[in-house]
Amino acid sequence: MTKLLKIIVPIFTMFCACQNSFQKEIDALTINFSSPAKMWEETLPLGNGRLGAMPDGGITKETLVLNEETMWSGSEWDVSNPKAKDWLPKIRKKLIEGDNIAAEKLMKEHFTCLDGGSTNPKYGCYQTLGKFQIDCSEMFSDTSFSDYKRFLNLNDAVANTSFSFNYNGKKAKFRREYFVSIPQNVIVIKLETENAPLKFSFDFLRDERVEFIKNDSASVMKGMLDSGDEQKEGVKFIAVAKVIKQTENQAIILISAGTDYEKVFKGEVHNDFATIRNNVESIINVSPKDYSILKENHLTQYKKYFDRVSVEMGKTDINGKIKAVDSAALYLQFGRYLLISSSVNSVLPPNLQGIWADAIHTAWNGDYHLNINVQMNHWPMEPGNLSDLSEPITKYVESLVESGEKTSRDFYGTNGWAGHVLANAWRFTAPSEDPSWGATFTGGAWLALQLWEHYLFTKDENYLKRVYPILKGAAEFLRENLIEYNGCLVTGPSTSPENAFLKDGQRCCVCLGPTMDTQICLEIFSAVEQASEILKTDADYSALLKETASRLPKMKISPNGYLQEWLEDYQETEIHHRHVSHLFGLYPGTTINTPELYQAAKQTLNRRGDEGTGWSRAWKINFWARLGDGNHAYKLFKNLMNPVITTKCAPDEWGNTVNYSGSGAGTFKNMFCSHPPFQIDGNFGGSAGLMEMLLQSHEVKADGTRIIKILPAIPDVWESGHFKGLKARGEISVECSWENGKITDLKIDNPLNEKIEVIKCK
């Protein structure tokens, strides 16, 4: 077992490049530090969808935390509870009688997955690949440096560390440059000195289930993850590092890695280590050996995605020119950067940590939560002009359908397919081990709606044909699980995600017809109706869904003016709860769409408050943007950007080594969002919220005309600005400039000749 060496560095002031004065965009989109990282949350994320690397900018020893997107322990296993559906009528009867406490007790005893769910080693966990350490201690000591700079430029997805040091009484310079190549699928590291010879060595590091092999030509790390099942082999992995070019003053290192996850997932015979190593080494061997070509290829592929959108917003000088760029532009583009870096060429969509993890046991297993988180990970994809990165999430949802159909049959005795709260790399779709948070069963439908959004933005009918069975299956599961209650059709047993209410003085979560469930039913039924008309299929089924939707309960407004979260106006156990699930119909849904409901939504948000976890604050940005309140949306953005003050501590149960002050929610110094701990959905949700403040296209008139709102929710502080390349639904691209709060130039590209109405909100 190899342990990471402790690195001691001088203390310097660190700062994020949320700039106060306008510079070129290349500078405005740079995250800067003036000293090495003291903890992982200060390292800089690089990725190409398959591989991730986070260099810490150390002096004598540079450590890169490495990731490979399919580093999943665990395995697929049958979690069906054969007696569960026999208890379903009894649970529903208790709910209809108003005995929620007894219903929840029955669910906990009889209506959960078998064998512990996410606590079972078979469920698995997303893990770090390991670390890669470059030792330059022969060249200088920790105390001999100056002129330190460390930064990540979002424009080119390249990170740099540079500093000066004393060599034989002369000032010498040392620079490291790193990127993860999309076309070559390798991590590229360039080491370069000036006025001193280059001396270094390197090693892989990992704390468990690993073997290290080193020779003159390469350093190799290999191992096999725990399957959680003594009868099954786990995922095998290999990483290889090679120096492909070295002179007295420069060296180029390539790192590649791979696993046999895809074979394990498909149930095929595993690759042996020799085959995986050959595959990994061949990637390095076919890569260009010239650094300039490697970098040029990387820039060409990366900028094909990133350069589609440009954004500036801030204050103006007396000549009407932007003089101060707001940090929102950086945050918006950082979300797009992370989505590109964790989705392009990926097998799996970004999980709770994207593709970046620094521990063997990541927080919450680094899995996929279907009650908002994985969906939020994709909110900036369509408006951010990254629709062609939809394949990983589409394939992932497709992979869940077979398991979801089994869950529907085994637990509910119904057709269609279901997803609950937890999902992983092994097709887990069942109710989780605790119904208080795991009973929500609309996760599959919410995932399907993400695919529907992709169609709405692209109008790709071939794609719609592909995903229509997924939409229909998700709708059918919900339709067959609606039950009669007080003259309406309601879902149940279910929950309003992770929230609780008081029933007879006791805390309870399980209920009938939580508001979010009804909203999702309306959205998925409508999506299938529209899709069936577009594809000219299933007219009778479409009519059935329309009739079913008409019998769903209407949203209720409390006497106190807020939207009710449940059919009854229960008292929440936590008024300021992080989830605001009953506003799903405001964003990302569209069923909160009348002046009365908008007012109730405002009252709900004011009652809930502006605090919360990182992703909760991000969601609220989108809510206030939809309500047209730019100043409040911006207040939430500043809340999201709240600096998380951290100190290192002993690892907790997830290997997390950070203590937080206060709530711990906000943004780390490397701009990762803190739940706490790090959870990437807040980055994606915040980025999407900023786009929603600039451009909206979710409303459609009765005659089918789509409304395009320009600057629907910009705050007063964005006096002037410009954006180009953001997308509206219908494959529409928008460019807009404004000065002193007024639109000065607007260009709409409508290549499909969609029927639209453009509303200038400024």
Q: What is the pLDDT of residues 411-460, one digit of tens each?
A: 999 999 999 999 999 999 999 999 999 999 999 999 999 999 999 999 99
Adjacent-strand bridge partners of 3: none
The residues facing 748 across adjacent strands are 734
Segment among 102-111, 140-149, 374-383 with least mean pLDDT: 140-149
Question: If you average pLDDT over residues 318-340, what whole number do you get?
Answer: 84
**pLDDT exceeds cutoff 60 at 390:** yes
Question: Percent of the chain at pLDDT above 70?
Answer: 93
pLDDT in tens, 592-641: 999 999 999 999 999 999 999 999 999 999 999 999 999 999 999 999 99
pLDDT value of position 281: 93
Q: Which pLDDT tens digit goes with each residue over 493-513?
A: 999 999 999 999 999 999 999
DSSP 118: G
CB 140 within 8 A of CB 165: yes
pLDDT at 759 over 80: yes
Which band of pLDDT confidence, cut at 50, 70 and 90, is reported for residue 705?
very high
- Separation in Å, CA 350 to CA 12, 48, 50, 679: 33, 12, 10, 11
- Report which of 233, 320, 333 is spatially closest to residue 31, judged by C-alpha positions: 333
Report how far apart the first and last C-alpha atoms of the chain are (Å, whole number): 62
Distance CA 659, CA 401 (A): 40
Is residue 318 over pLDDT 80?
no
- Name the band, by pLDDT with cuts 50, 70 and 90, for residue 145: confident
pLDDT value of residue 535: 98
Tokens of 570: 């229960």
532 burial type by CB count under 10 A (0-12 exposed, 13-18 middle, 19+ buried): buried
Encode pLDDT of 24-64 as tens digits: 444 789 999 999 999 999 999 999 999 999 999 999 999 99
* Residue 8 confidence class, pLDDT cut points 50, 70, 90: very low
pLDDT band at residue 20 using 50, 70 and 90 as cut-offs: very low
- Chain-centroid distance, C-alpha 105: 33
> How far apart are alpha carbons 234 and 321 in whole angstroms?
59
Q: What is the mean pLDDT of residues 191-198?
A: 95
Mapped onto helix, strand or coil, the DSSP state of residue 187 is: strand
Q: Is a pLDDT exceeding 80 seen at residue 645?
A: no
What token pair was written down for 187?
């991590």
The 10s digit of each residue's pLDDT in 68-106 is 999 999 999 999 998 999 999 999 999 999 999 999 999
Q: Is the pLDDT of residue 320 over 90?
A: no
pLDDT number for residue 16: 35
Positive or negative, the CA dihedral 66, 333, 684, 349 is negative
Give the C-alpha distances (Å, rounded to integers) separating 74 from 238, 365, 396.
18, 11, 17
CB atoms within 10 A of CB 654: 17
Do 671 and 332 contact (CB within 8 A), yes or no? no
CB 217 within 8 A of CB 247: no
Whether 648 shows a pLDDT value over 90: the answer reads no
* CA-closest candidate to residue 626, choices 683, 557, 689, 580: 689
Nearest to 709 by CA among 589, 590, 618, 625: 625
Domains of the chain: 25-72+125-306 (2.70.98.50)
Q: Residue 317's pLDDT band (boundaries 50, 70, 90)? A: low
CA distances (Å), origin 167, targets 95, 172, 194, 369: 77, 6, 10, 53
The residue with greater pLDDT, 484 or 142, is 484
Q: In which residue are the tokens 């801030």 written?
A: 314
Average pLDDT over residues 465-469: 98
Those residues whose C-beta lies under 8 Å from the C-beta of residue 18, and which sit 6 or more positions away, are: 327, 330, 641
For the chain, the helix, strand and coil percentages under 3-state DSSP, each to the nearest 5: 30, 25, 45
Q: How far is CA 412 from CA 59, 111, 517, in A?
A: 59, 10, 16
Give the pLDDT band of residue 19 (cuts 50, 70, 90). Answer: very low
Given a contact cutoff of 8 angstroms between Cβ atoms, the answer to whether 725 and 309 are in contact is yes
Q: Percent of the chain, pLDDT > 90?
A: 87
Q: What is the mean pLDDT of the chain?
A: 92
Look up tokens 């779709």; give the residue.
429
The sign of the torsion formed by the CA atoms of 92, 95, 96, 97 equals: positive
Helices 595-608 and 614-626, interaxial angle, to 10°? 150
Residue 721 pLDDT > 70: yes
* pLDDT surpassing 70 at residue 13: no
Residue 287 DSSP symbol:
S
Is residue 142 pLDDT above 70, yes or no?
no
pLDDT attached to residue 559: 95
Question: Is residue 438 a contact partner of residue 112, using CB atoms and an 8 Å limit?
Answer: yes
